[in-house]
Every structure is written in structure tokens, then in C-alpha cells.
Chains A and B, each alone.
Chain A
Amino acid sequence: MQTEILLAEHLDALIRALNQAGYMVIGPVRDEAAIVYDEVHCAEDLPQGWLDEQEKGHYRLLPSGDNRYFGYTVAANAWKKFLNPPERLLWRARRVGGQIEFVPQSAQAPKLAFLGVRSCELHAIRIQDEVFIHDAHRDDDYNSRRQHLLTVAVNCTRAAATCFCASMDTGPEVSLPSDLVMTEVVAEDSHYFVISAGTEAGQAVKDGLPLRPASDDENAAALAGIDAARWQMQNGPRFFDNSDTKALLYRNLESPVWDEVAERCLSCANCTLACPTCFCSEVEDTSDLSGEHAERWQRWDSCFNGDFSYIHGGPVRDSTASRYRQWMTHKLATWVDQFGQSGCVGCGRCVSWCPVGIDITEQLQRLREGESS
């Protein structure tokens, strides 16, 4: 692939080019003590010089000691909220003189450019595409947002302790098509991005940037960064062999491990909200006092919520153990049967944002140990 060099001092040119092409740019910004995805107007909005320290139930921003823009790993929130909003009005209805009229509500999808999408996150977006687009029933609203999306992916040159994309085979190197792909390199006397285009839309944006061809050394430096991130994960405590995960879970539906984790799990739903692939939603039907107007709202929901599995008489999964089993088994096993791939991309958000520090990779390990004991 043809790679070129965008000097770090020209990063603003990329944001400007995206704006000029009609895109609102969404990227990483510091929001108090965390990095989140939000609107970005210039390179100065990016969290330059900061990195994230992540562990079980732990997230801290620390000075990175260098001037990297993308020294952090993944933001606290996932991109999914821009493609599948947490709350959406589906339709309004009127009843006048006994006659009902429904008015579908669908907003014009904005042209969004995601700046700084990690490989695991590209995989997560593709997984949600399988749910909402590549199905007998297509979610037109989601599809329209996807059609208007441009991605600027960034290869990871550092892994957080919670990262396990190397186990899930979803990173750290960008392994799905992206309009643009960049790798940030900070050397002793230089700071640049190795950049390439994966689509015509990406090429068109790239054409307007001040670039020069990348040298072999520069390409090698970029790859060395990615290798470093991979090495970190492969030699970290969360690395595991994912080849039989589905079978492991199917063998262990009645394992005592579920009861053990349920003693800690608060059923708070944080993991499902932080997860970039969790897609469940609920609808609420409302009407006004006059009884003439009604609305249907769709909102994110979670399989950890008590009424999620309600059928007349009560919820099917009324214990935390059954709900945690549902979540983890869905993510790592039944998802494969449903959509042909795992529902986990190894981003580690569920590990960091669990208030009691439950770690999905550790739970897998416990299931495995339970079998051999």
C-alpha cells in the first residue's frame, strides 16, 4: 500500500480537509478525567501528551511524557452512540375523532468523520452493522448514518493493561477497511503520521493534504510501534487462546463460576453501556394527558436490567448469575452462532468500567480452571 507522511504539525490540515469535505469531525477529547469521543475542531482539541492507565475498575489519565496525540488507547465511550443514539424518537401518533395517524420520525443523518478509530473499534462497528444492516430487516436510520460515515483509523502503538485485541484477533494493527489509516510515530527529532487511504473518499481527503512519500525507515518505525503494542498484549496477563472460547462457554452453562461472579456483580449494566458492540434497546410508548398524542421512543437497554427478560409472571433471568451468564455467553459464544463472529473485540472497556473490577478475561480463565480442577 502506498504510504505517505503527514507531519504532526499538519494534523490541523487533516481536520480542515474533513470539515471542507462536509464532515463533522468526532475524535478523542479530554473531558475532565477521561478521554471521550466528541466533536473536534482542531488538533489542539486532541489529548496531546496524555495517556490512559486502565486496570480492573480503574481508569486514570497520566502525562505521557511525549507529545503524542494518540498515546491513549480507547476512549471511555464507544463510537456506537453516534451511529445508534442512546435515545431516539421512532414515531409520533395523533388520534383525532377516533382516527389514528402515525408519523415516522427520522432525522437526516449527519456526515460524520471519526478521527482516531482503533482497529478493535472498526471491528465493533462492523459487528453492529451485522445486527442492524445485514439482516432481513434493516434499520434504515442506522444504515443512513453508516453511509454518511468516514473513518480515520489509527494503528495502536501502545496497549493498555486491559487491552486484549491480540487475543480476539481484532488488532492492534488496523485489519478492516478504513477510509484513511494512520500510524503516529514520535522519534528523537521528528513527529509524524504514516498515512494511507483505503477508499476513494479517503483518497480525496488525502489529496488535499501536505504529504510526502514515506521512506522505508519511516514505514518500519510505524510497524515497530504496532509490534510493540502486540508484544505488550502477548506478554501481558490477559493474553489467551480464543480458539475454543465458544465451546468452553457452551460446556460451562451450569458452572459454579456464575454464582461466584454474581456475588460481586452489581447488575449495574456499565459493561453493556461501555461495550462497543452491545446493541440491546427498549421502546417506551407514551401519550399525553389529552390522549390525542402518543410517541414511541427507543432507548439503549441492558440484559443486566431486571425486566429485560420479562414475560408475564416475571423475568426469565431473575438472578444476577443468570444475567451475567447471558451477557458473557452471548458476547463470546451465542454471538458466533447468530452472526458468524464473536461479539467481543477485546477493547477492555468492560474491565475498566466495572465498578467492582470484574474482568471478562479472568472469568474465562476461571471457567477453564473449573474444568481442570
Chain B
Amino acid sequence: MAPLEPWEKVLVVQEDFLGDVHGQTQCIFCHGGVQDPDKETAHTGLVADPDSGETNICQNCHADTDHTFEASLHATQGGYWTALDARSAPEDHAALETMFGNHCASCHTTCGDCHISQPSSVGGGLIDGHVFEKTPSMTRNCTACHGSRVGNEYLGKNEGYASDVHFRAGRMKCSDCHTGDAMHDSSGVCTECHTTPEGGQPISKMDRYDGTQAPACESCHPQVGADGDEVLQHTLHGDKLSCQVCHSLSYSSCDGCHVAVSEKTGNPFFETQATYMTFFIGRNPDPSYHRPYEYVPVRHIPVDTQSYAYYGEDLLPNFDALPTWAYATPHNIQRITPQNESCNNCHGNTEIFLTSDKVKPEEVTANRDVIVPQVPAAR
């Protein structure tokens, strides 16, 4: 995404902005500062992002949304901490918090990062002359952060691989599946429609695959697997396979992201060792009521034992607690894929299953719950 010029980032389109209800109040009500013709004086006490931290002005009118958003994964980045906590020991947390602040926290999302500006992680700047957009822009908000994997898959930017059918044929935007309710609330509001068994575990949503699937493919495709479904494969496989096992194309995996702070500039930076296209079916490491599948696609995530070595020795002593080939939901869905064209494109095809020979020796233990010991026999 091309960066905006400094003036472009703060250019307000008067007619559009003042036509919005948010334009009915004075700028200094939200941004502080002083009404003065001199720039320096006017900017005294300026709050550029009035929707972040204790100054969050949005909650004055949007208290309900703001209340749930504060605890959502977009706001807390809780998914990162779920993984970091599992792989580390309590005594490592101080060093990891420093690492997190330097390298991960810039992806923390505020109200404005989705509804007014481009995210600060890509340089910020007003999207549309300070007009408040109820629905975020797919390319300037959503894939600005979720670009290298989801964005490239969905929009067909991985060379040789088609875009997702929902985009190509349906021109669907992220928000068509990922609703505002789900984006603003990770606590399990979805269970209002999708019931859990009596006594089922409460939805804690400590990562994006916790709890109810939201969105779920079946929400729009309820006929799949139901009585009368004419696609035999749906009935045969039932809940053994996640939808993506049959309907996604290859997707990118990454190896060894290492982070550090530059001695030269003092800026934090990262280096990813390799990025490559894969399609591997692995075992579901954590089957649940909502994701009962035996097999799911798995993607190699860019972590290794030395990822945070700059911040201390052996900061991930429990590295093997989680797989490095992680449950994935690729966003390049097709009706017909290489693996679903015939039974034996999958059955007996060792190339597309994550068997131990495809896992780095030092990561075999971490991936013990994901590695497929025996490929389903050919038909």
C-alpha cells in the first residue's frame, strides 16, 4: 500500500465531514488543542488519536460497543499472549513484554484504525477526509494489517493461485463474513445464535479459534452435509474434515522470524528467514465441539526457539507446548481444488499430508499432535 504524503494524512474534506454527525462538534472537543491561527499554538495539547488509551472519546456515545471492544482480540491482541504464555515461563514475561511492546503492539487496533484512518502500523492517515466509515475499507483497513497471508490469498496475489471465489465471483468484502458484532466483541456473543451443548465450556476467546466459529461456512451454506445434500463427499466426510481441507488452495507458510532493535537506528525490526507456498493436511491438534474435525489445513508459523533471543536467553523454554504447524483457515476458497477432484488426489497421496518427514527434526516434538502418522489409504 503506497504511503500517504504528510499533508494527505490530515486533509479534511469539509463538505463530507460536516455532513456527518461527528462533524457537528468542534475539532478540539475530541482532539484537544487550542483555537488559534498559529499552528504551534493550535497544536498545544493536541491528541492525535483521541480514541486510544484513557482519552477514548468514542465511548461517550458508543459505550456498548466500546465496552466489548476493549476486551476483544483486535484491542488486546490476546491471541499473541496465549501463544507466548504457553511457550514461555512466568520469569520470562518481563522480557517478552518488552519484546511485545517493540514489535507487536503497533498492531493494536483502535476505533479510528478501522473507521477513520489507515492503521498506524502502515503509517496512518485519514481514509476519506475524516469521514467516519461505518464499514471499514477492505484494502485500506483490513488487509492493511492482514495482508501478507489472508489478503494475498483472498485477492489472488499469490502468483499462480486464484483469488477466493467469494471475492472473484461474489465481490464479497471482509465485512460480509466478519461482521461488526464479531469484530467488536470476542467474548462469545455468537452463542446467542449458535448454541453450545448444555454444560459446554464458556467462550473465552483467547485466540481466534476459541469457541464458536464466527463466521462459519455453514451460516451461508446450510445445505452442506444436511439431508438431501447432493454432494456425496459432504456426507461421507461429515465433520472429519474442515471445509478448507477440500476447498482451499496452497497458502503461504513462513520460517524463523527473529526480532531485534537496530544498533544503527534504534528502531525495532524483524527478519523472516523464508516464505513459501504449502498445502498440508494435518491432524486437528485441539478438537472441540465447535471444531470437531479430525483433519485441518496447517500452516507453518514463523516462530523458532531463537525468535526472541535478542531479549534474553531461552525465552521460550516450553517451545514444544504448541505446534509450529498451526491450524489454518486459508482464504482462497474454490469449489474445485486439486485435492477434491478425485478420491485418490487425497487418499493415499502422501504429498499433501503433514507427515513427520516434512517437519524439521527439532520441531517434531512440538508438532506431535499435528503430524499425520498414517495417510488415509487409497480407494
Partners in one complex: no
